Every structure is written in structure tokens, then in C-alpha cells.
């Protein structure tokens, strides 16, 4: 498992250099998400035996004003948040594993054959009971209804390194 970041994915030279590493995740150690110029801290909670699935806890930050530091370089106290995410090594990089509710392919094809293009809008007008059942009135798909919607896994790229949890905010942006 070798991870490398392309320069176009990370703005600062420091983040780009940090991103070219091969450190494996280890329970109890930190992880740092590399953004364009900022960095966000996590703690590694679980690691699969093959090192391809990792559960992380987001860490919050609080400035330790007992120590000197300049803008963006304060001494931060990192605290657990109770907010977790799972990342997986897939397609040559780390991805945040999530999920979404979507219409089934069969239901989409059925609607298209009837000339229905905007399914959710059509349902709201023509079948409000079903629209409520699949969206709980929130205006987006939130519930699985057999034959109509399914839960689908999603994978979103994340630039992350392991071994150290660091918060950094670039005040210039």
C-alpha cells in the first residue's frame, strides 16, 4: 500500500511533502487529513487485519493559551468528539466510506418509460404518500422502500496520513 499525493490535490508544499509517506494506521495513534492548506486531526480507533479498513474519531481542537504561538501555529489541545468515520483503501487511495439512498435502476427505468424525468418532484405531486414514505418530509431520499429505493455505498477521496494527529489552520485563506 503506497500512497502518494499529486501536487494538484494539495495546495501547500508542506502538505504535499507530508502526503508522500507509507505509514500504516495503528490503533491509538493519530491521523491527519490534509486539505488544500489546512490539516484536521483524527485518532485511529480500529484497523482491519489487512490494513485496508480504518475507523477514525474526529478530534476537536482548543488553543492552549499557556504556551506561545503565532497565527496558525498555536499549541493545540486535541479532544475526542464522539464523531466517527470509516475509511477504506480502494482504487489506489484512501476513501471515506459512506452511504446514500437512491432510486433503484428498475424504478428509474419504469419512470422513464412513462415519461417521468424528475421522479421525486413527480412523486410529491402525484403520490404524496409515497413521497413522504421515502423522504420523511425532508425533501431528499432518506428511507429504503422495497422496489423503489436502495441504500448504496459511496466512496469519497480523502488525503490522510497516519502516525500523527495535527490541526493547522492557514489564516491567509
DSSP codes, 45-58: EEE-TTS-EEEEEE
CB 25 within 8 A of CB 54: yes
Which tens digit of pLDDT belongs to each residue from 108-167?
Answer: 999 999 999 999 999 999 999 999 999 988 889 999 999 999 999 999 999 899 998 988
138: three-class secondary structure by DSSP = coil
pLDDT reported for residue 25: 93
How is residue 125 written as a grid cell?
A: 405531486
In sequence order, the 6+-apart residues with CB closer than 8 A to the CB of 135 are 120, 141, 142, 143
CB 112 within 8 A of CB 103: no
Phi and psi angles of residue 85, each rounded to the nearest 5 degrees, phi first: -145, 155
pLDDT reported for residue 11: 61
pLDDT reported for residue 64: 76
Cβ atoms within 10 Å, residue 53: 16
Which tens digit of pLDDT belongs to each residue from 46-87?
Answer: 999 999 999 999 999 987 777 766 555 567 889 999 999 999
Which tens digit of pLDDT belongs to each residue from 3-56?
Answer: 555 545 546 656 655 655 678 899 999 999 988 888 899 999 999 999 999 999
pLDDT reported for residue 36: 82
Cα–Cα dist 146/13, whole Å: 49
Is-above-0.85 flag for pTM? no
Cα–Cα dist 69/57, whole Å: 26
User: Residue 20 CA to chain centroid, in angstroms?
Assistant: 20
User: Residue 129 CA to chain centroid, in angstroms?
Assistant: 32
pLDDT reported for residue 145: 96
Amino acid at each position: 500500500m503506497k500512497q502518494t499525493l499529486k501536487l494538484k490535490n494539495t495546495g501547500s508544499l508542506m502538505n504535499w511533502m507530508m502526503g508522500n509517506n507509507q505509514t500504516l494506521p495503528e490503533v491509538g495513534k493519530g491521523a491527519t487529513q490534509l486539505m488544500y492548506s489546512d490539516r484536521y486531526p483524527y485518532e485511529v480507533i480500529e484497523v482491519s487485519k489487512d490494513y485496508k479498513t480504518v475507523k477514525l474519531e474526529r478530534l476537536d481542537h482548543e488553543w492552549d493559551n499557556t504556551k506561545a504561538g503565532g497565527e496558525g501555529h498555536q499549541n493545540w489541545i486535541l479532544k475526542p468528539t464522539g464523531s466517527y468515520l470509516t475509511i477504506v483503501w480502494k482504487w489506489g487511495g484512501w476513501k471515506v466510506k459512506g452511504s446514500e439512498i437512491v432510486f433503484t435502476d428498475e424504478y428509474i427505468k419504469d419512470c422513464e418509460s412513462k415519461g417521468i424525468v424528475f421522479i421525486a418532484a413527480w412523486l410529491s405531486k402525484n403520490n404524496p404518500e409515497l413521497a413522504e414514505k421515502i423522504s420523511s418530509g425532508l425533501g431528499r431520499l432518506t428511507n429504503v422502500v422495497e422496489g423503489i429505493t436502495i441504500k448504496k455505498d459511496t466512496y469519497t477521496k480523502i488525503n490522510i496520513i497516519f502516525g500523527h494527529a495535527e490541526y493547522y489552520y492557514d489564516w491567509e485563506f
